[in-house]
Structure 1
Amino acid sequence: MAGSKPQRRVLLLCGDYMEEYEAMVPFQALLAYGVSVDAVCPGKKAGDICRTAVHQMSGSTYSESRGHNFTLNATFAEIEFSDYDGLVMPGGRAPEYLAMDQSVVDFVSKFSHAGKPITAICHSQLILAAANIVKGRKCTAYPTVGPVLIAAGAHWVEPESLSHCITDGNLVTGVAYPGHPEFIQSFVKALGSSITGSEKRIFFYVGYDYMEDYEVYVPFESLQALGCHVDAVCPKKKSGDTCPTAIHDFEGDRTYSEKPGHDFTLTADFEGLDASSYDALVIPGGRAPEYLALDGKVIAVVKDFMEAKKPVASICHGQQILAAAGVLKGKKCTAYPAVKLDVLLAGATWLEPDPIDRCFTDGNLVTGAAWPGHPEFIFQLMALLGIKSEERMRKEMERFDHERRKEEERLMREQQREEERLLREQRRESERQE
């Protein structure tokens, strides 16, 4: 569109054993909102992976286990600082090593000197200290990073909780992944963008146990970052109880591998909750849906949402619940390929998830195949809820303009071919008359 601003581009600075939520949640949330995100790691190329770590509180510190494999989509050696509007740095153990890489330190310094938004969470503030850009700046971080920041001259802000975030000019710092909603909101604002139509109420099914780790936390915090009120509930459990999650990864086998994930803390009681007071229902995948599909109260809630034609978004194995509820008949639907039989027997038209990140909307129903599709899954739910992202609207306009230009070029080529055909006919007719 003539005169429109270009789509914002953001760089995500990755490394091995970064905390998996702290990488994937901002990565997929920003993509869902329409921001272009390039994930890079020094010494690695697009298509390479970074291993991630699951950190969760255990006594006075956190435990660590293996997370998902995070696939990079750009090459660090090829990026240009001037191409990006902001920088996101996940935490975990990766920043300890990235802070010793001079190419990383120099790159971060350029963002700071240009006044471009920088977000750092958990341990990634170590990179800020190494780049000498925290002196005199208000800054928070995971508590054990405090002494380093103080030594670097930062105005240290003691975190009130793991969700604490601080904004000082172009610098947004957070303590840990529970703070993502405010952390992401602050970054979007610093980019000069806006989101409207939020403040929706979301009913979010969790557990019993072993729902997919990403499929719970990414949409949960992405919707909160939009300003939605999200109640995560589980039958027979209460607010404050936890559900263990499962990490399902694609590692070259015919099916997915499984590793233990984070423990997810519920935010509301299931019993006594008035589902009619919510604007939408979200159903994550994993192994939990096999059991939730056997719970009559769970099924009743799903039926109520579908009968009221309120938005329902279900991903991966979550469609097992939809099938058990008998709400798929006549619907177009995708799911994880292993759930295809459930979908077909429930009377739905199967939509092939090729590639695996494809998502579809049919009326009030959004379905996706697996967590790589979160950006489109969340965006399609946003569209049903009337939540509008300035960046996504800009991206859609750019796509529309691109398609319009392609159509205009196609018509011009056809017109040119027709003119050439007419010219050839005129020449042949002239030759016959001669």
Structure 2
Amino acid sequence: MAKSSKSVLILCGDYMEDYEVMVPFQALQAYGVSVDASYSESRGHNFTLNATFDEVEASKYDGLIIPGGRAPEYLAMDESVINLVKKFSNNGKPMAVICHGLLILAAAGLVSGRRCTAFPSLKSVLIHAGSDWVEAETMSKCVVDGNLITAATYEAHPEYIRHFVKALGGTVTGFDKKILFLCGDYMEDYEVMVPFQSLQALGCHVDSVCPKKLAGDTCITVIHDFEGDQTYSEKPGHNFPLTANFNAIDPLSYDALVIPGGRAPEYLALDENVLALVKNFMKAGKPVASICHGQQILSAADVLKGRKCTAYPAVKLNVVLAGATWLEPEPIHRCFTDGNLVTGAAWPGHPEFVSQLMVLLGIQVSF
């Protein structure tokens, strides 16, 4: 990943909304931004912090992100949190605040006279705090008022992150790309949403399809975490919406294919139409980015002979027997590019995974 001179702080707390912390955290890293997450830890996926709140100096950061969820309810009562947020505001630095995160701004007296939106249940408190409330007609609503970027929910991430990157002084080139995601029930939660919204935030057109499902249908996702057991744990995830019909897509119209991991690849690898789609992209030399168990599909499609790749360690047998040279994912966030193929081992590798796909697509974020 190319590193920029920009540095961002994410203000975290227990029970913050899962996507609203991880998507911007990993997307911005993929774009080359240094991101620190401080204060506490969340459930759902387990989110690891990389900075200590009491040691944070607002002056060293170029912007602030405040996720939503239930964490802002109690963070808004913490004077040290309020003082930190005020420092960012007083210095006119970009602040991206989503969902219930606006409670912290209201407690800090920072929404008076400002146009903003949030999760609809915050309407009355924000109006009482003096805000120029903007109704969220849909959960993808995003509003920009000077250095303040606000959004209703994680559905607004593409526009929300795009505006934040612009506020940091970033410009995106090469974004006119069309990308296809191969989905299935019980695919890994982060491994579809993080790259999907990261690419949308860059301005790409991104479609999601699943065999035997139609546009408007959803796929169930699962949350996989590494918690010290012999294998990853599994919890229920979100419902991920599909945007196109699998049988109606034209592979030639897409510039790249992304294959999330999870348990979906086990059965998608048995579908001849799925294998034909993958072979089409590989034969054409178009970028294919596959992560975790997604390489089970590449193996079944017989497109790994002579290639170098990694995967979740338990998938090593599939990769080696398919004729590929195994690349050890050590540490687990390592990703590799071999020609048109980007492979990763698990969702902690998203910053490298997305960044390496961006290189193949000719997309660049400059600050």
TM-score by length of 1: 0.83
Q: Could you tell me how far apart the structure 1 residues matched to 2:56 and 2:76 are?
A: 19
Answering whether residue 93 of structure 2 is matched by residue 102 of structure 1, we say no
What is the aligned-residue RMSD (CA, Å)? Answer: 0.9
Show CA shifts across 1:217-236 (max 9, x none): 00000000010000000000
Counterpart mapping for 1:291-310 below 5 A: 291-310=267-286
Q: Could you tell me how far apart the structure 2 residues matched to 1:51 and 1:124 are?
A: 15
Q: Is the 8 A contact 2:4 2:32 kept in 1?
A: no
Q: Is the 8 A contact 2:260 2:293 kept in 1?
A: yes
Q: SS state of the match for residue 68, structure 1?
A: coil
Answering whether residue 242 of structure 2 is matched by residue 266 of structure 1, we say yes
Q: How many angstroms does 1:51 deviate by?
A: 2.1
Q: Could you tell me how far apart the structure 2 residues matched to 1:325 and 1:239 are?
A: 25
Answering whether residue 132 of structure 2 is matched by residue 134 of structure 1, we say no
Q: Give the counterpart of 2:260 among 284, 295, 300.
A: 284
Q: Give the counterpart of 1:179 among 147, 156, 173.
A: 156
Counterpart mapping for 1:409-428 below 5 A: none
Counterpart mapping for 1:23-422 below 5 A: 23-41=21-39, 44=40, 50-52=41-43, 67-207=44-184, 209-391=185-367
Q: SS state of the match for residue 240, structure 2?
A: strand
Show CA shifts across 1:124-174 (max 9, x none): 000000010110000100000111100100000000100000000000000
Q: Could you tell me how far apart the structure 2 residues matched to 1:95 and 1:155 are?
A: 20
Q: SS state of the match for residue 222, structure 1?
A: helix
Q: How many angstroms does 1:6 deviate by?
A: 6.4
Q: Is the 8 A contact 2:117 2:135 kept in 1?
A: yes
What amino acid maps onto 2:12 in structure 1?
A: C
Q: Which has the larger radius of gyration?
A: 1
Q: SS state of the match for residue 326, structure 1?
A: coil
Q: Is the 8 A contact 2:4 2:34 kept in 1?
A: no
Alignment partner, residue 415 of structure 1: none
Q: How many angstroms does 1:276 deviate by?
A: 1.0
Q: SS state of the match for residue 123, structure 1?
A: helix
Q: Could you tell me how far apart the structure 2 residues matched to 1:119 and 1:389 are?
A: 19
Q: Could you tell me how far apart the structure 1 residues matched to 2:89 and 2:159 are?
A: 21
Alignment partner, residue 417 of structure 1: none
Q: Could you tell me how far apart the structure 2 residues matched to 1:224 and 1:296 are?
A: 29
Q: How many angstroms does 1:390 deviate by?
A: 1.0
Q: How many angstroms does 1:103 deviate by?
A: 0.3
What amino acid maps onto 1:113 in structure 2?
A: N
Q: SS state of the match for residue 255, structure 1?
A: coil
Q: Is the 8 A contact 2:256 2:281 kept in 1?
A: yes
Q: SS state of the match for residue 270, structure 2?
A: coil
What amino acid maps onto 2:20 in structure 1?
A: E
Q: Could you tell me how far apart the structure 1 residues matched to 2:125 and 2:206 are?
A: 36
Q: Could you tell me how far apart the structure 2 residues matched to 1:275 and 1:178 are?
A: 26
Q: SS state of the match for residue 383, structure 1?
A: helix
Q: Could you tell me how far apart the structure 2 residues matched to 1:349 and 1:360 are?
A: 12
The runs of 5 or more residues in structure 1 that have no matched partner are 45-49, 53-66, 392-434
What amino acid maps onto 2:42 in structure 1?
A: R
Q: Which runs of 4+ in 1 moved over 2 A?
A: none
What amino acid maps onto 2:179 in structure 1?
A: I
Q: How many angstroms does 1:79 deviate by?
A: 1.1
Q: Could you tell me how far apart the structure 1 residues matched to 2:245 and 2:149 are?
A: 33
Identity level (%): 71
What amino acid maps onto 1:127 in structure 2?
A: I
What count of residue pairs does the alignment treat as equivalent?
365
TM-score by length of 2: 0.98
Q: SS state of the match for residue 100, structure 1?
A: coil
What amino acid maps onto 1:167 in structure 2?
A: V
The runs of 5 or more residues in structure 2 that have no matched partner are none
Q: How many angstroms does 1:193 deviate by?
A: 1.1
Q: How many angstroms does 1:199 deviate by?
A: 1.7
